[in-house]
C-alpha cells in the first residue's frame, strides 16, 4: 500500500476534480420554504357549565395537522403545480413535514426564484382550497394559514467542495481496498 499511495492520491484527486467540474456545470436550483399553521377557533363559552375550550381547540387542530399534511402531499395537489408535467418529477420537487403540533414546513424547488415561489404558492393554495371545501363536512372552525413572509427563497446549488471531497474519499477507499485485496489474494496464491 505504501508503494501505491501516490497512485491512489493522484487518481482520487482526478475523480474529485471531475465531480467538482460536473457540479459546476449543473444548473442552480432555488427552494421556496415556508410554514403553514393549522388553528381552530374556540367555541363560545357555555353559561351552563365550564369547559376548557382552548385545550379542546388546540387538540383538534393538532390532530388535523396530519390530515392537512396528507392533503398537501396528495398527487392531485402536487399536480396543481403544473398539469402538463409528470407527477413523479413534480413530487421530487416538493417536501412537506410536520414541524410542531400545528405547523407544517413546506419546501418546493424550482429552476428560478420566481418558479420556486410560484410552485410553493400553487401547492399551498391548492391544499388550503381543498381544506376549505372539506371543512364544512368536518370541523368548520379549523383553518389553515400561511405564516407571514412565506415563502423564503433559498439558492440551493451543488457545493463543489462537498462533491470533490466525496469523490476523493470514495475513490481513495475503493482503490485502497482493491489494492489490499489484490495483494492479499496474491500472497494467498503464493502460499
pLDDT in single tens digits along all 191 residues of the chain: 667 788 888 888 888 888 878 777 766 688 999 999 998 887 666 556 555 555 777 888 888 889 899 999 999 888 888 878 888 888 888 999 999 889 999 999 988 899 999 999 999 999 999 988 887 777 788 889 999 988 998 877 667 778 888 888 988 899 888 888 888 888 887 76
Specify the pLDDT at position 47. 57
Instruction: Say what the pLDDT of residue 93 is.
Output: 87
User: Which residues are 143's β-sheet partners?
Assistant: 39
Q: What cell does 174 get?
A: 475503493
The pLDDT value recorded for residue 27 is 65
Strands 29-40 and 142-146 turn out to be: antiparallel
* 3-state secondary structure string across 39-99: EECCCCCCCCCCCCHHHHHHHHHHHHHHHHHHHHHCHHHHHCCCCCCCHHHHHHHEEEEEC
* pLDDT in the model for residue 140: 83
Predicted pLDDT at 105: 94
- Residue 144, beta-bridge partner list: 38
| Residue 126: per-residue pLDDT | 92
Task: State the Cα angle at 100 between 96 and 102, rounded to 5°.
Answer: 90
pLDDT for 46: 57
Indicate the pTM of the whole model. Answer: 0.66
Beta strands 94-98 and 29-40, pairing class? unpaired
Q: Are 153 and 116 in contact (CB under 8 A)?
A: yes
Amino acid at each position: 500500500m505504501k508503494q501505491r499511495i501516490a497512485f491512489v492520491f493522484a487518481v482520487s484527486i482526478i475523480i474529485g476534480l471531475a465531480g467538482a467540474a460536473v457540479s459546476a456545470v449543473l444548473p442552480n436550483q432555488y427552494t421556496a420554504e415556508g410554514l403553514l399553521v393549522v388553528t381552530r377557533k374556540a367555541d363560545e363559552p357555555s353559561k351552563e357549565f365550564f369547559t376548557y375550550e382552548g385545550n379542546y381547540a388546540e387538540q383538534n387542530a393538532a390532530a388535523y395537522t396530519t390530515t392537512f399534511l396528507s392533503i398537501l402531499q396528495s398527487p392531485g395537489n402536487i399536480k396543481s403545480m403544473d398539469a402538463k408535467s409528470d407527477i413523479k418529477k413534480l413530487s421530487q420537487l416538493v417536501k412537506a413535514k410536520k414541524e410542531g403540533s400545528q405547523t407544517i414546513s413546506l419546501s418546493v424547488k424550482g429552476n428560478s426564484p420566481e418558479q420556486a415561489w410560484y410552485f410553493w404558492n400553487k401547492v399551498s393554495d391548492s391544499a388550503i382550497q381543498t381544506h376549505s371545501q372539506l371543512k364544512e363536512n368536518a370541523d368548520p372552525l379549523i383553518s389553515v394559514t400561511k405564516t407571514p413572509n412565506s415563502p423564503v427563497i433559498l439558492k440551493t446549488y451543488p457545493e463543489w467542495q462537498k462533491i470533490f471531497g466525496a469523490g476523493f474519499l470514495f475513490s481513495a477507499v475503493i482503490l485502497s481496498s482493491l489494492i489490499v485485496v489484490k495483494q492479499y489474494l496474491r500472497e494467498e496464491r503464493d502460499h
